[in-house]
Amino acid sequence: MTVKELIKELKDYPQDALVVMSTDEEGNGYSPLDALNEEVYVADPDGRGQVYVARTLTPELKEQGYTEEDRYDEDDGQDAVVLWPMN
């Protein structure tokens, strides 16, 4: 799902509704959304994947302690917004 598709899906929901994430696909636990970050996603053949901090190290990322070693500079990654649960 893209950000555009997510916005389209969310537009009909109450704007003050809490965003809660399932901890797994079976719904064995739930946690409120804590943060979202722009990152780079690299898919594995099984449909899962890895997330890397960024393609470009911004001053904010450097201030958070990220270095050039944390930056993703390959061509196979896809820009992504990652949603992080509170717990």
Average pLDDT over residues 30-39: 91
* Residue 45: per-residue pLDDT: 87
The span from the CA of 11 to the CA of 74, in Å, is: 34
Is the predicted pLDDT of residue 76 greater than 90, yes or no? no
- Rounded to an integer, the average pLDDT of 73-80 is 88
Helix (H) or strand (E) holding 37: strand 30-43
Share of the chain above pLDDT 70, in %: 100
